[in-house]
Structure formats: C-alpha cells, structure tokens
Amino acid sequence: MTTLKGKRLEGKTAVITGATTGIGFATAELFLAHGAKVIITGQSQERLDAAVEKLKAEHKDSVVHGFLADVRSIEQLSVLAETIRKLFDGHLDILFVNSGVLGKGIPFEELDEQEFDFTFDINFKGAFFTVQKLAPLLSSGSTVIFDLSTIHGKPVPAYPVYAASKAAGRSLLRSLAVHFAPRGIRVNAVSPGPVPTEIGKLSGDPAEMAKRFAAIAEASPLKRAGKPEEIAQATLFLASDESSYLTGSDIIIDGGLSA
C-alpha cells in the first residue's frame, strides 16, 4: 500500500454508493487511507460483506460500514439516510454518487422499454433521489460528486440509453451546483473514459466487452484503459478542501480520448 503524506479527509464522513467493486471500492480504499469515516452501499449482501471485510483488513483503525441498498428504491434510500444520521451523528461531508450500470450494447432499433427503464432508473433516477434523500445531512463545506462518463459528450452508438442517462446526470449536476451553492455545498463530477470494471463484465459477453474496451482505449492518446485507482485520485481531490473553489465542474479522465 502506498505511503501517504498527510490525510486530506481527516475527520470527514463519506457515503459511496455502489462501492463493492470497481471505482467505488477503489475510492473507499483511498478515502479511508486519508482519514475519512465511510459507508459503502451495494445490492448484493455477499459482495457487500466481502468488500467491508477487505476494507477493514486493509485499514484496521478506520471506520467503515456497509449498507444494503438499491438506489432504485426511494424507501431504501430513506432508510440509508436514517442510518447515516445515527452512525455519523446526523452529519455527512462527502457523497459520492457512484452507483451505475452500463446496460447492454443493444442497437437503437432493438432497445425495449425494460432495458430503457433499467438503465435510467439506476443511472439517473437513482442518482437524483440519492442526493435528494441525503441532502438534509449535508452542511456548509460538504461536497457531492457524481460518477458520470465521457460518453455523455462522446457517444458510442451501441449505448444510446447509457449515454443519455449520463448526459441527464451532467445536466442535473449543473442544476444542483446552483441549487446548493447558497448552503455552501459543492457539486461536481468525474467522467471516466474506458475503465474495465465489474459493470462492463456484467453488461454482455465478456470477450466482446473486452474487445470494445480495447478498441476505445486504443483510440486515446495514451493508448490504454484507465484504472479504478486513477479515477479515485480525482474523486479524492473533489472530496477534499483542495477543490474548495470548484463547483458545477466535470473532470474528464479518459487518457485524452475527448481531445
């Protein structure tokens, strides 16, 4: 594990949704290493327990909790808010809205209502109500961070609904940045390019998905895919006081692909 000079989140509390694997898990590791108390959420009790156990093993003196929640359920999000209130004395400093799905690579003509609703319910509706239900716990100096995607500005034809859901999230973050500014709450986003995670593996044939990621990565100036740990570093910056003059912004992390 990397030796860190200074803990940038000392004394802060954080919630990371969808953090049992991938970018969410890597961010939880980094937040804990920098002194934050963390709650991670997930939809699978088995994966959630395994993630919490691993985090506790890596950071023995840290505070980390797991909470089973489906962001599509407003009722479960309300319970999450109440749980945070009890565990963190009603105070939340950092909310990383990370839960998301890539969806299946289905051509526009073949997309059905079920696939449309599934993708939007998690990527946009889930993000919207996660912030709404947890916002009362945020105070001046707190920060909300969305995990979006470069696809909202550089679409891939096989994923029109995924791209649209992320574009909706980009619009939402702008609105919320203005809405929460009077309360001293900042709202920003990270937008990763190709970063192979469990989401990609669950979105279609693994071999085909690997090909797609490789092709996208090859088109970038750096000629490689990103790593969850690299996205986590940018998220740490947005979560820390070092980004105190940043709100309504979207950090593109795609190896130069957008350029």
Query: Quick check: is 245 catalytic?
Result: no
Residues forming a β-bridge with 188: 145
On the CB side of 44, CA atoms within 13 Å amount to 7
d(C-alpha 165, C-alpha 186), whole Å: 22
d(C-alpha 154, C-alpha 23), whole Å: 21
Which residues are CB-contacts of 54 (< 8 A; sequence separation ≥ 6)? Answer: none
Nearest Cα residue to 101 out of 79, 80, 116, 81: 116
Catalytic residue (choose from 162, 168, 191, 194): 162
On the CB side of 162, CA atoms within 13 Å amount to 22
d(C-alpha 31, C-alpha 10), whole Å: 9
3-class secondary structure, 139? strand
Catalytic residues: 162
